Amino acid sequence: MALVPYEETAGVGLQKFHKPLATFSFANHTIQIRQDWRQLGVAAVVWDAAVVLSTYLEMGAVELRGCSAVELGAGTGLVGIVAALLGAHVTITDRKVALEFLKSNVQANLPPHIQSKAVVKELTWGQNLGSYSPGEFDLILGADIIYLEETFADLLQTLEYLSSNRSVILLACRIRYERDNNFLAMLERPFTVSKVHYDPAKDVHIYKAQKRNQREDL
């Protein structure tokens, strides 16, 4: 059973999700991501937003060397793996049910000398935030995590908790429904939000968010 329901559309596009392996080349490494749609559904396949965000990181859009980063709703872990290969210290998170699968992909794709730069850890949005320090991360990454309206308030709370005034949030997503725009409107209350990249072939946007400072709100 899928971790969360997702509306499937007919056609060739979904066939790639049922392949046991998806292969990519990032940061001079071949990355082979194990997929398991039947067991974990949307959490266990590589979505286009993860590929676009990984490409954006590889382009050098943000300084990753020595950066403290976290990936939310990591699923297969592709984005976190790429960030670690590019020099970041990454905490790669998802719900408990997906952690063993996530950990297997991370361990299989990071060379031994980089393994220590990546930690796989449970994070259920809005619930176990006490396991983390407020404002702990320089960079917060999320690929295709904006799609279930009932998670929006918890996701927003999590972003606010984990970020400081210096943190950068990068969210990659395809705008499928009006509710996706609704989340971006919610995000704009505590954060300044701008679109920094668009991949027309994959129809994926990347949004950058940073906390509004007190003066802006006066």
Q: What pLDDT sits at residue 40?
A: 59
pTM (two decimals): 0.89
Domain presence at residue 141: yes
Using the Cα atoms of residue 62, residue 68, residue 70 and residue 71 in order, give the sign of their dihedral.
positive
Instruction: Give the pLDDT of residue 73.
Output: 95
Whether 7 is covered by a domain: the verdict is: no
* Neighbouring C-alpha atoms within 13 Å toward the C-beta of 30: 4
Whether 151 is covered by a domain: the verdict is yes
pLDDT tens-digit series, residues 8-36? 443 445 556 567 888 999 999 999 998 88
**127 within some domain:** yes
What is the separation of C-alpha 98 from the centre of its chain, rounded to a whole number of angstroms?
Answer: 14
113-153 confidence digits (pLDDT tens)? 999 999 999 999 999 899 999 999 999 999 999 988 999 99
Decide if 9 is inside a domain.
no
The pLDDT value recorded for residue 15 is: 59
Residue 217 lies in a domain: no
Instruction: Answer whether residue 193 is part of any domain.
Output: yes
Count the Cβ atoms, other than its own, within 10 Å of residue 14: 12
Give the chain's length. 218
- Residue 48: which CATH number? 3.40.50.150
Under a CB-based contact definition with an 8 Å cutoff, are residues 89 and 67 in contact? yes
Residues in CB range of 167: below 8 A, 6 or more apart? 135, 137, 138, 139, 140, 210, 211
Band (pLDDT 50/70/90 cuts) for residue 177 is confident
Q: Which domain holds residue 124?
A: 42-211
**Could you give the number of structural domains in the chain?**
1
Whether 33 is in a domain gets the answer no
Cβ neighbours of residue 9 under 8 Å, at least 6 residues apart?
none
